[in-house]
Copies of this chain bind each other. A is one copy, B any other.
Amino acid sequence: MNETKQTEARELLDLLELRQYPAFMRRIDEWNPVDAAEFLSELPCERLPMVFRLLKKDTAAEVFAEMEPEQQSVIIEGMTDREIGSMLDDLFVDDAVDMLEEMPAGIVKRIMKSATPETRAEINRFLAYPEDSAGSVMTSEFIDLKSEMTCQTAIEHIRQHGLDKETVYVAYVTDTARVLTGVVPLKSLLFADPLTKIGDIMNEDVIFGYTHDDREEVANTISHYDILALPIVDKEKRLVGLVTVDDALDVLETEATEDIEKMAAILPTDKPYMRTSVWETYKKRIPWLLLLMISATFTGAIITHYESAIGTYAILTVFFPMLMDTGGNAGGQSSVTIIRGLSLGEIELRDVLRVLWKEIRVAAICGLTLAAATFIKVMVIDFRFQRLTVLENGDVQNNLLIAAIICITVFCAIIVAKIVGTLLPIGAKRIGLDPAVMASPFITTIVDTVVLIIYFTIASNILHF
């Protein structure tokens, strides 16, 4: 809500306080459903059902659909079975299904009992679509025309049946077997001669999706073709629903957030941050922290193996953080780029060799640059200013040796890190896992182990331990 709305919200609260309900009803009715839902959400729970009853019947369902599950269940609990049934009729099926998926079992039972048999059947059909599928986000309220209609009859049809449709701006054409055959934007209907047949102006090159398609794929198609809605068909190509662009926006935003969370080693959640409890946040974060911590056993084991060498060459440990962080960062860059590319459809699985070859070349130049920078840094900053001691007698010869070990390790680390960062997300996608998990934290743990092995192998060969 912006500031104007917040001032108005305070005035609305005053009206409620003074029990001036007719004035309140006139005012809230001018609000859009999103702001009205936000206003209601901030009311104390015990007043919510009463105030919700003040909404006009036709906007009530819209406002309800915009509310959070907690508030929805409070409102439902304050309703009679008849009121629930009538609101279910007013809700779009996809909104009703969204709500049911979040409700406690007891309330779901009561809602389903209150629904008409047709609504109940339709809701059950939608609930059966797999989570994250196009079927689970689509709506069944679409306008469906026949190719022999004229534009005039079509517009008349839309006038009569369009009011409770999710969008009236795109109509779909189906044949007698309900198979999708064409699409007509309302714009074409409006601009065409009223007596033209729909079949003559419809676009037969319809872009569509299947109910079992992934919702992210469907959203990407809507975004790619800049369309207002994507028709969804079943296996027999019969039109069963549509996904609108605003649903696509929500899906893409949710998927981006989920990817970002997974990349940061957090289990994804669909609740906004400020409404997630400390305990819930903890449960989303601790599994990966524990897993990654325990997998550090490998790095520990490697260092343990070289413990006596470290006793002699303690200087080697000075570069642990730099080597591991640089490896982790380089690997993270690759993995995150690839994960995002896969998710936007810019990178396909069949591109794996081209991607790998490119990453190796990028790694080679990055590795050379960083090795050169490391050399200068180690020789000038670390040895000159910090006066690192090299062995007991620390002569230049040994400085050069240490610098060489670090530089070679940095170069190898970058190459390995970028290869690991490329192959893990692509491999994950290949075997049907979510690539987003293969991001920085996971890569870092693996790269750390590999970098330490490289480091000690090179060091033990050069320093003979």
Q: How far is the CB of A251 from chain B (nearest CB, A)?
A: 11
Nearest-neighbor residue (CB-CB) of A389 within chain B: B307
Contacts of A228 in B (CB 8 A): 169, 228, 245
Helix, strand, loop or mixed for chain A's interface? helix
Contacts of A263 in B (CB 8 A): 260, 263-264, 336
A293-331 interface bits toward B, Cβ cutoff 8 Å, 1 = contact, 0 = none: 110110111011001101110110111111011101110
Interface stretch, picked from A48-56, A98-106, A123-131, A277-285, is A277-285
> Is the CB–CB distance between A296 and B362 below 8 Å?
no
> Is the CB–CB distance between B224 and A285 below 8 Å?
no
> Is the CB–CB distance between A337 and B261 below 8 Å?
yes
Q: Is A14 at the interface (CB under 8 A from chain B)?
A: no
> Is the CB–CB distance between A341 and B272 below 8 Å?
yes
Residue in B265, B314, B340 whose beta carbon sits within 8 Å of that of A257 in the complex: B340
> Is the CB–CB distance between B191 and A332 below 8 Å?
no
Q: Is A134 at the interface (CB under 8 A from chain B)?
A: no
Residue in B245, B337, B346 whose beta carbon sits within 8 Å of that of A245 in the complex: B245
> Is the CB–CB distance between A358 and B278 below 8 Å?
yes
> Is the CB–CB distance between B332 and A440 below 8 Å?
yes
The contact size tier of chain A is 35 or more
> Is the CB–CB distance between B441 and A351 below 8 Å?
no
Q: Is A373 at the interface (CB under 8 A from chain B)?
A: yes
Q: How far is the CB of A387 from chain B (nearest CB, A)?
A: 9
Residue in B163, B253, B292 whose beta carbon sits within 8 Å of that of A344 in the complex: B253
Interface stretch, picked from A68-76, A81-89, A111-119, A444-452, is A444-452
> Is the CB–CB distance between A293 and B370 below 8 Å?
yes
Q: Is A354 at the interface (CB under 8 A from chain B)?
A: yes
Q: How far is the CB of A293 from chain B (nearest CB, A)?
A: 5
A440–B358 CA distance with the chains assembled, in angstroms: 25
Most chain B beta-carbon neighbours within 10 Å: one of A159, A321, A381: A321
> Is the CB–CB distance between B274 and A346 below 8 Å?
yes
Q: How far is the CB of A400 from chain B (nearest CB, A)?
A: 18
Interface stretch, picked from A15-23, A28-36, A426-434, is A28-36
Known: A266-B336, A303-B320, A307-B318. A296 touches B326 (CB 8 A): yes
Most chain B beta-carbon neighbours within 10 Å: one of A187, A293, A299: A293
Contacts of A13 in B (CB 8 A): none
> Is the CB–CB distance between B158 and A273 below 8 Å?
no
Q: Is A333 at the interface (CB under 8 A from chain B)?
A: yes
A217-252 interface bits toward B, Cβ cutoff 8 Å, 1 = contact, 0 = none: 000001111111000000000000000011011101
A-side residues, CB < 8 A to B, are: 30-32, 34, 155, 158-159, 162-163, 168-169, 186-187, 190-191, 203-205, 207, 222-228, 245-246, 248-250, 252-253, 256-257, 259-261, 263-266, 272-274, 278-279, 281-282, 285-286, 288-290, 292-294, 296-297, 299-301, 303-304, 307-308, 310-312, 314-315, 317-322, 324-326, 328-330, 332-333, 335-338, 340-341, 344, 346-347, 351, 354-355, 358, 361-362, 365-366, 369-370, 373-374, 377, 381-382, 386, 388-389, 410, 439-441, 444-445, 448, 452
18 A/B residue pairs, CB under 8 Å, sorted by A: A32-B205, A34-B225, A34-B226, A155-B190, A169-B169, A222-B249, A249-B252, A264-B332, A273-B355, A279-B365, A285-B366, A289-B326, A289-B329, A289-B366, A290-B373, A299-B322, A307-B314, A310-B317
